[in-house]
Chain A
């Protein structure tokens, strides 16, 4: 079929908003990277252009003067411990809800899923004192536990649907061969739902790496700061010190792991998030 001139024009026209929005998304991010390599003087002279020469001074300053090294380490611990703990807690529950008949399984699932709709900010006040009583306030492991529990509803929700796709016959024949239910869960269910486990883990890890507000409330001392808090601190300092270059270096350090994960798992992440949203 021959396309009319109007159609061709329309097709080009439709690209204009798409290209403009791509620029609106990419330019600030790109520019943040450039800023991380500029000196402060140059940021003032030429905030939105290319750097004259690439220098790593900002990264060095952030790393040494603002303890970013400690924050990166703290964020890594919170992310890894939180993500592993979420799995340990969520997989057995998801399996039991999906595959074992017991009274109240529907109610239990509803309780977990509806927790996704509740504004947790009300709970943060008592949680603050609870953590304080348990000696887990201002403690990155305490924060990791809070993170893990906060992502339980989402993780259980996604994992039950993945476990639901595993054929029952596999478990049944394993049980016939005398395999205990614990072994079935560990040797059959876990490997077969690996795809779901990976999706959930990446989503949770990104969430924990990025999280800001609970860290703000539950951590006080700077040696326990996660990356989000450290950057926020540099940002509030920069109002007075104008250390914008250092701030951009901090932002770059925070965003690079997310970019790498997105580059590798782009499909999984976007699918995981849209499915998480459809839960309602």
Chain B
């Protein structure tokens, strides 16, 4: 291109600098000053901002609710990974391997909840779990199991497990499509060879499909883990607000409560640092566990 160096740099500055300034102000600066705030006792007004060193971190370690929030988060991670992956894999194999005429219909329907607002999903499911009017209790009554009916979201033992179903419901479609993309790239000749060797469809799944779509499986699991650790608190906030009696608080909803309801902004930031560390560590460890040489036949 015929242009002077100065012109090139001017154009480059035009392209990059305004965007980066806004990104720095609204993304980078808040993240780093979040780290900084975690060393202060701060209720929001500028007068009462005291440097307290590691006091917030000591409080964090001693806070009896914190271990529960971490356990709740990992409970959601584990149940969502299992629930979503098992069903998404099953649907993905069913829709690609078996020639089903109406497959596009299922694809379109299953994906739709992925673009619904968490608020809509949360409220819809709150009503499905409604003790008097909800579908779950009416259904149990209908099949004669009214003894199992309970106020699902108001029950300390059942509230957290009840949050899994809406999350799985809302998540399956995306991962099904991701896995379908992987399966459709597997060459037909592998299956023909497997069939000649007399492998059953079940063996074909374990020996051919799964190893060859391992990259997609890995990405799906990582994505579910990241989005759950970084965002599970949204559905918690909409459906239970962390209750009953803190039984459904996850790390993020506890941060929201500490910072924006009780105005402990310094402590809230400390919880935020914990979320950041836990989420990054989990991803690193998972990547290490799931590393597996690429399979090529």
Instruction: Tell me the A residues contacting B by CB distance below 8 Å.
Output: 11, 14-15, 17-18, 21-22, 24-26, 28-29, 31-32, 43-44, 47-48, 89-90, 92-93, 95-96, 100, 102, 108, 112, 115, 117-130, 145-146, 148-150, 152, 171-172, 175-176, 181-182, 185, 206, 209-213, 216-217, 228, 231-232, 235, 244, 247, 251, 254-255, 258-259, 262, 266, 269-270, 273-274, 277-278, 280
Contacts and interface: CB of A to CB of B under 8 A. Distances in A.
A122 B27 contact: no
Contacts of B158: none
Interface in B51-75: none
A15 B103 CA distance: 10
B34 A125 contact: yes
B126 interface: yes
B110 interface: yes
A255 B116 CA distance: 7
B182 to A, nearest CB: 10
B226 A117 contact: yes
Contact of B115 (A115, A247, A258): A258
B119 A228 contact: yes
Contact of A274 (B116, B125, B178, B226): B178
Contacts of A21: 87, 91, 106, 110, 172
16 contacts: A47-B138, A119-B272, A121-B255, A122-B35, A123-B34, A125-B34, A130-B25, A130-B30, A212-B237, A251-B123, A258-B116, A262-B112, A269-B115, A273-B177, A274-B174, A274-B177
B265 to A, nearest CB: 6
Interface in B217-238: 219-220, 222-223, 226, 229-231, 233-234, 237-238
Contacts of B14: 92, 182
A14 B94 contact: yes
A124 B30 contact: yes
B135 interface: yes
Interface of B: 1-3, 7-8, 11-12, 14-16, 18-20, 22-23, 25-27, 29-31, 33-35, 37, 44, 87, 90-91, 94-95, 98, 100, 105-120, 123-128, 133-135, 138, 169, 172-174, 177-178, 181, 219-220, 222-223, 226, 229-231, 233-234, 237-238, 252, 255-256, 259-260, 265, 268-269, 272-273, 275-276, 279-280, 283
Contacts of B174: 270, 273-274, 277
Counting chain A CB atoms within 10 Å of each CB, the highest count among B29, B127, B133, B177 belongs to B127
B35 to A, nearest CB: 8
A149 B259 CA distance: 23
A258 B111 CA distance: 13
A59 B265 CA distance: 39
Nearest to B125: A28
B22 A145 contact: yes
A11 B98 CA distance: 8
B12 A14 contact: no
B103 to A, nearest CB: 9
Nearest to B269: A125
Q: Is the interface of B mostly helix, strand, loop or mixed?
A: helix
B265 A212 contact: no
Contacts, number: 240
Contacts of B272: 119, 121-125
Given A92-B16, A119-B279, A255 B27 contact: no
Contact of B98 (A14, A150, A262): A14
Contact of B22 (A89, A171, A254): A89
A108 B29 contact: no
Contacts of A172: 1
B12 A102 contact: yes
Contact of A118 (B25, B113, B276): B276
Contacts of A251: 120, 123-124
A29 B125 CA distance: 10
A43 B18 CA distance: 53
Given A26-B109, A123-B30, A126-B30, A152 B115 contact: no
Contacts of A212: 117-119, 234, 237-238
B76 to A, nearest CB: 14
A201 B197 CA distance: 49
Nearest to A206: B115
Nearest to B103: A18
A93 B90 CA distance: 40
Nearest to A130: B30
A140 B280 CA distance: 32
Nearest to A277: B223
A31 B276 CA distance: 39
Contacts of A123: 27, 30-31, 34, 272
A128 B260 CA distance: 10
Nearest to A232: B119
B127 A24 contact: no
B120 A121 contact: no
